[in-house]
């Protein structure tokens, strides 16, 4: 009985955890850590081209008809006359072309059980998008960058103190790119069009 009060508060109490309570912190997938300095070789010209090509491929597939939506209706004879609210919402999110426009759905190419009942060949001579959408955007960005570059050049030519302007610009750029990461890969991630406005795509439905 006398020992009733003694157990509490002592760090060495075997069963208790009062002095070191468990802390619940939210799980972080990618916690910020201090990264070591990058010592590997910089990207060669060929490697930069490969990175751009990779981004282009990934972008193409994400927007292609091959990227299947999880809750998209699979019946091809959906009632399109009655437009549901969820259809309208889906339309604004993604405008994918039909899978059957690109796949040659015949028993000569695919297992018979997969092509039974599907439309054979293309429904009509619709002009397919292929990857025109993803092609145009990088070109637009390249053009914009070129224009900006030209404007910048023109401005420096117009001013009398050309060299000073250049130096000032260079110094400004150097100050802004104080991050280690900016030193190495200098090209712009033009294929990353996350922050660009989507083009108005035509609707291609079956």
User: How far is 164 from 148, CA to CA, in rounded Å?
Assistant: 19
- Is 113 a binder of other proteins (CB under 8 A)? yes
Least distance between other proteins and beta carbon 114 (Å): 5
| Given 157, 179, 197, 203, the residue binding other proteins (CB under 8 A) | 179
Q: Is 141 in the site for other proteins (CB under 8 A)?
A: no
Rounded Cα gap, residues 185 and 192, in angstroms: 15
The mark string for 72-111 relative to other proteins (x by CB under 8 A, - otherwise) is: --xx-----------------------x--xxxx-xxxxx
Cα angle, residue 41 at apex, residues 36 and 43 outer, rounded to 5°: 110
Measured at the CA of 176, the angle between CA 50 and CA 148, to 5 degrees, comes to 65
**Residue 191 class from Cβ within 10 Å (0-12 exposed, 13-18 middle, 19+ buried)?**
buried
Tell whether residue 123 is a contact of other proteins (CB under 8 A).
no
Kindly give, in sequence order, each residue whose CB lies less than 8 Å from that of residue 91, ignoring residues fewer than 6 positions away: 203
Residues that bind other proteins (CB under 8 A): 29-30, 38, 40, 43, 46-47, 49-51, 53-55, 57-58, 60-62, 64, 66-70, 74-75, 99, 102-105, 107-114, 127-128, 130-132, 135, 179, 181-182, 184-185, 187-189, 192, 194-195
């Amino acid at each position: 009985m006398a020992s009733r009060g003694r157990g509490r508060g002592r760090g060495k109490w075997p069963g208790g955890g009062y002095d070191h309570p468990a802390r619940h912190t939210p799980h972080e997938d990618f916690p910020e850590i201090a990264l070591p300095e990058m010592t590997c070789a910089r990207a060669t010209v060929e490697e930069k081209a490969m990175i751009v090509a990779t981004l282009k491929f990934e972008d193409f597939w994400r927007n292609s008809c091959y990227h299947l939506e999880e809750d998209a209706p699979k019946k091809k004879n959906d009632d399109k006359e009655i437009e549901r609210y969820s259809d309208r919402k889906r339309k604004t999110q993604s405008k994918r072309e039909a899978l059957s426009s690109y796949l040659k759905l015949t028993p000569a190419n695919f297992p018979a059980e997969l092509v039974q009942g599907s439309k054979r060949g293309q429904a009509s001579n619709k002009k397919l998008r292929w990857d025109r959408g993803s092609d145009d955007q990088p070109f637009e960005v390249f053009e914009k960058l070129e224009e900006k570059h030209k404007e910048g050049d023109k401005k420096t030519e117009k001013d009398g103190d050309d060299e000073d302007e250049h130096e000032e610009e260079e110094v400004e750029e150097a100050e802004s790119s104080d991050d280690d990461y900016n030193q190495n890969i200098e090209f712009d991630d033009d294929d990353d069009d996350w922050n660009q406005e989507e083009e108005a795509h035509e609707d291609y439905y079956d």
